[in-house]
Amino acid sequence: MKVTSIYVYPIKALRPIRLDDARLTPQGVQYDRRFMICRADDADSSKLTKVQIDKVYQCGLFKQEIVGDSIHVLYLTPEDPVVPTHPMQNEVLKVPLSPDTSDLDTVDVDLHLSKVTAYRMGARYDDWFTACFGFKAVLIYIGDGRRPVLGTYAPQTDGPPQQRGWLSSISGYVAGTSRPAKDKPWLAFSDLAPFLVASEKSLANVKARMPSSDVAITAFRPNIVVDGESDFDEDFWVELSANDQPFLTLTKMCNRCPSLNVDYDTGKIAEGERGTVLKKLMSDRRVDTGAKYNPVFGKYGFLNEGQENMVLAVGDEITVTKRADERPIFDWPLRARGAQPQFYQTS
């Protein structure tokens, strides 16, 4: 197999940036999801709710690119506007890749019950996103914050991931029984793992279900795309090697949501067959017994120890060096099951 594309999302939920090559870090492709947009409560601006494309479809209208040491963000006004026109929508927002945080206010943010203290970038950025989204928006930066990896999503130190319950894994996490907290894996603003791997072969399977429309791999928001060998074979991949060097451990499958149905050109759910991607996958891709109502596409991964700052390029040879006989099971804690938000334990 070969790498066919690489993507980075410096600001979470917006359009991806396609790369020819990328430096890999334990927290994902360099600069991936270091920033996130939140919606501020109208009555209390300190109460923030994450903005994600599965619920805020107009995230697809924002183009971002890395220019020098900053992210340039452009709002692409659709033919049928989804928010009132505002002069700031025609401006290019420039966000520093590594902002000075010394004078920034902090705020606690809960992303999938994995909490972190982040930095508010300030009024200039908030005002621009507010003008484009049509609601009170706040741009935050993770800086030196660390979100904990919950469940058994991180590679287990004693071998392949064990399919144990989320409650026992959380207890071990908080107690710090497995290893010192400073050495534990951690996340920026990526959902549940630093990397998401997808396969062109599996995408072809999805396209075959929808002959009258075209589905791009970007609808699935991966970081690393490979050509693949057979449909959905990635469900069973455990370790990938690049150019004969093991570099990525794959631990869990990615359970999908309505973001698959979004038309990035309109900022709405796509019309016709293109807006039914999630439904099309429901028939035979609900294969994760831990999340039986969600279809699966793609595999979450973590960078192997010793591979920090390796460079991966489009065209690199990829081989599966470890496989599993059974699919992994979703066990990230859910609020609906009584789980509580967790901060990274520093002591």
- Bridge-based pairing state of the strands 262-263 and 245-255: unpaired
pLDDT in the model for residue 144: 94
What does each C-alpha distance from 66 to 58, 121, 257 come to in angstroms?
A: 21, 18, 28
pLDDT beyond 60 at 141: yes
* Residue 343 forms part of a structural domain: no
* Residue 87 forms part of a structural domain: yes
The amino acid at residue 168 is S
CA 128 to chain CA centroid, Å, is: 23
Weakest mean pLDDT among 62-76, 98-112, 127-141, 166-180? 166-180
pLDDT beyond 60 at 266: yes
CATH number of the domain encompassing residue 310: 2.40.33.20
* Residue 159 forms part of a structural domain: no
The predicted model gives 104-126 an average pLDDT of: 96
Task: Give the residue from 150, 153, 157 showing the smallest Cα distance to 178.
Answer: 157
* Residue 342 forms part of a structural domain: no
Q: Are 196 and 255 in contact (CB under 8 A)?
A: no
| DSSP code for 190 | S
pLDDT in the model for residue 70: 98
* Residue 315 forms part of a structural domain: yes
What is the signed CA dihedral for 147, 152, 153, 159, rounded to 10 degrees?
120
* Residue 261 forms part of a structural domain: yes
pTM for this structure?
A: 0.92
pLDDT beyond 50 at 258: yes
> What is the spatial distance between Cα 157 and Cα 345, in angstroms, rounded to a whole number?
18
* Residue 158 forms part of a structural domain: no
Number of domains in the chain: 1
* Residue 130 forms part of a structural domain: yes
**Domain that residue 301 falls in:** 2-153+185-336
CA 268 to chain CA centroid, Å, is: 20
Tell me the pLDDT tens digit for each residue of 294-304: 999 999 999 99
| DSSP code for 214 | -
